[in-house]
Homo-oligomer: A and B are copies of this chain.
Amino acid sequence: MSIDAPARRYAKGEAKRRAILDAALAVVAKHGYRNSSLQEIADAVGLTKAGVLHYFDSREELMAEVVSERDAHDRARVDGLEPDQLGTLSRIIEHNGTVPGLVQLYSRLVVEAEAPEHPAHGYVRERYALIVETLADSVRARQREGSVRADIDPMVVARAATALSDGLQLQWLHDQTLDMSGVFDAALELMLGAAPRTES
């Protein structure tokens, strides 16, 4: 999560920690999740395994933090103050079509964090809850302004949009020619009753 204690560190440590995060991201993005060991990350940043483990309790925790960091980064990049979260999600999906390594990492984490003991379990859970709630609000806003029929259940759309996003990324991992945001937008338009579209 983000409520972790300040964890007082020296300046050097702070920098190193960031370096590890970056290195981990790079390594994972290049060699994939499963093929990136602590050893490799440690080498990339000039430490030993134990050195890395000094900053992160476990490999899983490291990975979780990489994702949550990137998550926050992405969100901030695109979020702004826009109320149209559905559009924002679409753009995030579009952007994800650029970074296979990250999509892979994210997918892995979501699947693995299913176990309650997993360090990222709570994070993923809350993330889902937040996203769904936000999207539902977005639908409600559109309903209020009249651009979406009032008899549509916002929760259904919110859950569906979230599932769509995740599911499309899974498919995309196996076939990078898939136009994720294209399908997403089209499907959403169908659900919200806008004019239909076509896809290749």
Residues of B within 8 A of A107 (CB): 111, 114
Rounded to whole angstroms, the CA-CA distance of A195 and B113 in the bound complex is 37
A34 touching B171, Cβ below 8 Å: no
Given contacts A159-B178, A183-B160, A186-B153, contact A34 B112 (CB under 8 A): yes
Given contacts A115-B34, A163-B163, contact A156 B187 (CB under 8 A): yes
Tell me the number of copies of this protein. Answer: 2
B174 touching A168, Cβ below 8 Å: no
A164 within 8 A of B: yes
Q: How many residues of A contact B (CB 8 A)?
A: 48
Jot down 25 A-B pairs with beta carbons below 8 A, ordered by A.
A32-B114, A34-B112, A34-B115, A107-B114, A110-B170, A110-B174, A111-B111, A111-B170, A111-B173, A125-B175, A128-B174, A128-B175, A149-B196, A153-B186, A156-B183, A156-B187, A159-B171, A160-B186, A163-B164, A165-B167, A166-B166, A167-B167, A167-B170, A190-B193, A191-B191
